Amino acid sequence: MLAADHAARLGDAASRLAAVGGSALVIAPSPDLRYLIGYEPMPLERPTVLVVDAEGAVVLIVPALERPLAAETGAAELFEIVGWRDDEDPYALIASRLGGGGTVFVGDRIWGSHVLSLQRTMPGAAWTSATPIVGAMRARKDEAELGALRRAAAAADAALADLVAEPIGGRTERAVAAMLAELLVAHGHDTAEFTIVASGPNAASPHHEPTDRRIGAGDAIVLDFGGTIDGYYSDTTRTLVVGAAGKQLVAVHAVVAEAQRAATDAVRPGVEMWTIDRAARTVIDDAGYGDRFIHRTGHGIGLELHEPPYAAAGDHTVLEPGMAFSVEPGIYLEGKLGVRIEDIVAVTETGVEPLNTSPRALVVLD
Ligand code: ZN
Ligand code: ZN
Ligand code: ZN
């Protein structure tokens, strides 16, 4: 686990909560909880919640049997740990720590059963999402977090460099995905989390699951893969072709590469997130493929693969140094081919730092 100043994060969360007039934050086992206190038990039907109030009081309420586990957390001296036994009502206990009312800010990743029980126990409270508080904090990475993202990106780039040195033509998507997963770990990932290998017509499906299809000459191959190092994700995409590339693939790839460059060039502090999407979309619209660019341009990345902010129409997050997100335009021609190019980028004091540095040209393999 990365060294993190959990006391500062808890203090920041409490003052943000006070600034919006909230009464308490309720965070269940999730990346938010890991971020705030470094504790990451399994989310289960027995509720575990961190409660932070606007005055900065912090209590971790846990099933009594997990009290020893919680006490081992490095940050355990920062909060009171209260255990509840199976013959007690945990929701009444949690409610007693929530002050009975006001506006409660709840983390996005909490089971519906827990929220519904809390709402039944506290009919007078108002409930809203904690993402404007904790999500906003997590969006701006500190140096240690940026370091982990850089290491993850470099390891993913190294995995790709090794992969393209292997013969890929004639192998199945599934076999190539397995090779890629092994290489991600060999280059330092703690785990390989996903390896999309989408060839030929399958490349037109952005979240394709690898199949037993054998990769043939002239196929576009979209490789989109990543894993975690110290909890932080890599996520990169390159498009390859085995043998000679057809005219259409070359043309589409050039448009996507130009869109990816334009969007990356638009990244700097002070601009709004939607403008990054606009920059990519303008290039693809102008080339006549606007309706074939069927997803947003990017997503924040950190302890989660997809987290705020989003490079999409309507996201008015103002970019700040330390934010990290993907830039991944694509064009998908159903039944034929698909092309996507994806890098993780970080916002610097003056502009942008692409964390992935693999060549972005169409990779032609023999
Ligand atoms: Zn995706
Ligand atoms: Zn990806
Ligand atoms: Zn992505």
Whether residue 296 sits in one domain with residue 219 = yes
How far is the centre of ligand 2, averaged over its atoms, from the C-alpha of 339 (Å)?
A: 12
The verdict on 64 and 152 lying in the same domain is no
Closest listed ligand to the CA of 325? 3
Tell whether 237 is covered by a domain.
yes
Identify which of 66, 68, 64, 67 has the alpha carbon closest to the alpha carbon of residue 85: 64
From the CA of 301, which ligand is nearest?
Answer: 3
User: Which residues of the chain, if any, have pLDDT below 70?
Assistant: 1, 100
What is the radius of gyration, based on Cα positions, of the chain? 23
Q: Are residues 134 and 174 in the same domain?
A: no
**CA pair distance 61, 71, nearest whole angstrom:** 11
Residue ending a domain, among 138, 153, 176, is: 138
- Claim to verify: residue 123 and residue 91 sit in the same structural domain: yes
Residue 73 belongs to a domain: yes
Q: What is residue 291's three-state secondary structure?
A: helix
Say yes or no: 183 and 69 in one domain.
no
Instruction: Tell me the C-alpha distance between 177 and 194, whole Å.
Output: 9
Cβ(75)–Cβ(62) below 8 Å: no
10 Å Cβ neighbour count for 70? 21
Rounded to the nearest whole angstrom, what is the distance from the C-alpha of residue 154 to the centroid of ligand 1? 19
The CATH number for 318's domain is 3.90.230.10
Using the mean position of ligand 2's atoms as its centre, give its distance from the Cα of residue 19 in Å: 36
Q: Which of 90, 123, 138 is the last residue of a domain?
A: 138
355 and 269 in a single domain? The answer is yes
Does an H or E element contain 238, and which? strand 236-242
15 CA → ligand 3 middle, Å: 32
Same structural domain for residues 193 and 220? Answer: yes
If you measure from the C-alpha of residue 348 to the centroid of ligand 1, how many angstroms do you get, rounded to a whole number? 24
Cα 20 to ligand 2 centroid, rounded to whole Å = 34
The 3-state DSSP class for residue 172 equals: strand
Q: Within this chain, do residues 149 and 132 fall inside the same structural domain, yes or no?
A: no
- In a shared domain, residues 282 and 169: yes
Predicted local confidence at residue 1, as pLDDT: 67
Whether residue 239 lies inside any domain: the answer is yes
CA of 240 relative to ligand 2 center, distance in Å: 15
Interval between CA 311 and ligand 1 midpoint (Å):
13
Any idea what the CATH number is for the domain that residue 21 is in? Answer: 3.40.350.10
pLDDT (0 to 100) of residue 29: 98
**127 shares a domain with 77:** yes
Residue 214 DSSP one-character state: B
Do 110 and 174 sit in the same domain of this protein? no
**Domains contained in the chain, number:** 2
Structure-block tokens of residue 57? 């009081």
Token pair recorded at residue 19: 């600034």
Which pLDDT belongs to residue 271?
98
Helices (H), ranges, 82-172: 90-96, 112-121, 136-139, 143-163
In a domain, 328, yes or no: yes
Dist CA 32 CA 303 (whole Å): 9
Query: Are 276 and 267 a contacting pair, CB within 8 Å?
Result: yes
Ligand 2 is an ion; its neighbours by CB within 5 Å are 224, 235, 237, 342
Find the domain containing 54 and state its range: 6-138
Here the tokens at position 215 are 């990769």
For residue 170, tell me if it sits in a domain: yes
Q: Can the peptide bond before residue 309 be classed as cis, meaning omega within 30 degrees of 0?
A: yes
Residue 1 forms part of a structural domain: no
> 138, 170, 201: which is the final residue of a domain?
138
**Is residue 85, in this structure, part of any structural domain at all?**
yes
CA of residue 337 to ligand 1 center, whole Å:
17
Is 67 inside a domain boundary? Answer: yes
Per-residue pLDDT reduced to its tens digit, 313-363: 999 999 999 999 999 999 999 999 999 999 999 999 999 999 999 999 999
The whole-angstrom separation of Cα 279 and Cα 282 is 5
Residues 126, 206: one domain? Answer: no
